[in-house]
């Protein structure tokens, strides 16, 4: 029997609480760099990125901050700034060889500004550069990317290679009620995605595949404080099945396999990858009025969704709108007023028939774009019309 509705429970994952950035400080850091006052430029850049922390004199005192499970350390040695996050302490020789192979193949690459470094038996992600070459924009990129890589890989490596993590920030465990609810959300989500995958394969619609892939990964990102091995496994699969430029056949196969693997995860295994984390730097992007307009406003995407509704294809219209709302909530931070409005839309259509979902989110999207959006923005990129070797899919 085809799936009749979807449930949109309240999130367990805590929304990051990060003070807004003062862009005047970023501009001031650039002015200091251009005036050859490099130490002051570094401190001003850090104050821009980390407005809630006190920045010391890095020549006399090392500075550290927490990003998820990663502890990031900064210091100035001579005329060089060093940024370092310890990933793992290697165990026996056999496991160490496998772990090193992973580091070399997955965490290092030509042209990457930071690289994994081995010091005795400890591996860390490290960046070091002369202060005179360290433009504030470069330092901002480093401090946004390096901690994210450390946070994404340290927990997964514990189970995969048996490594120790001597400098890892512990996560806050969920209480019993949240843990039980998280397992229920996980099981219901992947059971629903599994049923929707049947519809996707029957319809052979690339638009449906795009929307389902987005919803499959973004609802878990929005609802659950997922970390460790399960998050790493899901993200690895999502890199393939959510890639709109990839071959649809490969994307579909990867999504089917991912659904099977995610449904096979037992509650005890999932619980090991759940925990609340603290972030000194906002891990999400800051939502903007132009983004609301481009996604929920009257662009070509919304026009196509309107045509789907008019032709009676309520399921396809609903899935696209559901995916858009989860994308906005999973990847961006919003003012309390806008976040409440986006959440209210999902609450209003939870467990409703597809026609009600399509109509409710359609009307809400247009109203939200009108109230909170901007005008004159272009629509976000559409999927390519042609996919070589996959002509069995239609737009």
Last residue of a domain, one of 135, 161, 187: 161
CATH of the domain at 89: 3.30.1460.10
Residues 55 and 156 in one domain: yes
> Which residue segment(s) compose the domain that 39 sits in?
23-161
Residues 157 and 36 in one domain: yes
Residues 290 and 214 in one domain: no
Last residue of a domain, one of 161, 180, 207: 161
CA angle 356, 357, 358 (to 5 degrees): 95
Residues 28 and 134 in one domain: yes
Residues 181 and 57 in one domain: no
Question: Coil, helix or strand for 267?
Answer: helix
pLDDT value of residue 10: 96
Residues 97 and 137 in one domain: yes
User: Exposed, middle or buried by CB within 10 Å (0-12, 13-18, 19+), for 311?
Assistant: exposed
Residues 288 and 318 in one domain: yes
pLDDT value of residue 123: 82
Last residue of a domain, one of 252, 278, 304: 278
Element (H, E) at 218: helix 206-223
pLDDT along the chain (395 residues), means of 10: 87 85 94 96 95 92 92 94 88 65 68 77 88 96 90 71 79 94 97 95 92 96 92 92 94 97 94 91 90 87 88 93 96 94 96 95 94 62 36 36
- What six digits make up the tokens of 322? 């559901």
Check: CB of residue 150 under 8 Å from CB of residue 169.
Answer: no
Residues 391 and 346 in one domain: yes
Q: How many domains does the chain have?
A: 3
* Short-list 170, 163, 177, CA closest to 99: 163
Does 209 map to a domain? yes
Residues 98 and 182 in one domain: no
pLDDT value of residue 159: 65
Residues 36 and 126 in one domain: yes
């Amino acid at each position: 029997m085809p799936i009749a509705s979807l449930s949109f429970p309240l999130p367990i994952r805590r929304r990051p609480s990060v003070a807004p950035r003062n862009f005047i400080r970023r501009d001031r850091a650039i002015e200091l760099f251009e005036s050859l006052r490099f130490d002051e430029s570094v401190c001003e850049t850090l104050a821009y990125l980390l407005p809630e922390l006190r920045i010391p004199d890095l020549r006399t005192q090392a500075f550290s901050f927490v990003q998820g499970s990663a502890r990031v350390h900064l210091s100035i040695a001579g005329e060089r700034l060093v940024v370092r996050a310890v990933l793992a302490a290697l165990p026996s020789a056999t496991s160490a060889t496998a772990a090193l192979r992973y580091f070399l193949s997955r965490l290092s690459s030509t042209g990457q500004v930071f690289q994994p470094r081995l010091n005795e038996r400890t591996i860390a992600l490290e960046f070091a550069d002369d202060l005179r070459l360290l433009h504030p924009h470069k330092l901002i990129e480093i401090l946004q990317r390096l901690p994210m890589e450390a946070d994404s890989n340290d927990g997964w490596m514990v189970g995969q290679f048996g490594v120790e993590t001597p400098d890892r920030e512990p996560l806050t465990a969920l209480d019993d009620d949240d843990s039980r609810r998280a397992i229920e959300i996980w099981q219901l989500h992947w059971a629903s995605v599994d049923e929707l995958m049947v519809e996707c394969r029957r319809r052979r619609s690339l638009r449906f595949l795009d929307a389902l892939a987005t919803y499959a990964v973004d609802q878990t990102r929005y609802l659950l404080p997922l970390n460790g091995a399960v998050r790493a496994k899901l993200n690895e699969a999502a890199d393939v099945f959510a890639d709109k430029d990839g071959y649809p056949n490969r994307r579909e196969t990867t999504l089917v396999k991912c659904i099977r693997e995610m449904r096979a995860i037992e509650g005890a295994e999932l619980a090991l990858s759940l925990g609340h984390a603290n972030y000194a730097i906002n891990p999400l992007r800051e939502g903007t009025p132009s983004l609301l307009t481009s996604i929920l406003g009257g662009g070509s995407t919304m026009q196509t969704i309107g045509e789907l509704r008019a032709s009676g294809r309520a399921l396809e219209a609903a899935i696209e709108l559901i995916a858009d709302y989860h994308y906005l909530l999973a990847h961006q931070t919003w003012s309390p007023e806008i976040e409440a409005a986006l959440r209210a839309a999902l609450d209003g259509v939870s467990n409703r028939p597809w026609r009600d979902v399509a109509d409710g989110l359609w009307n809400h999207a247009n109203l939200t774009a009108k109230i909170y959006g901007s005008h004159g923005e272009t629509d976000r990129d559409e999927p390519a019309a042609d996919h070589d070797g996959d002509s069995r899919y239609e737009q």
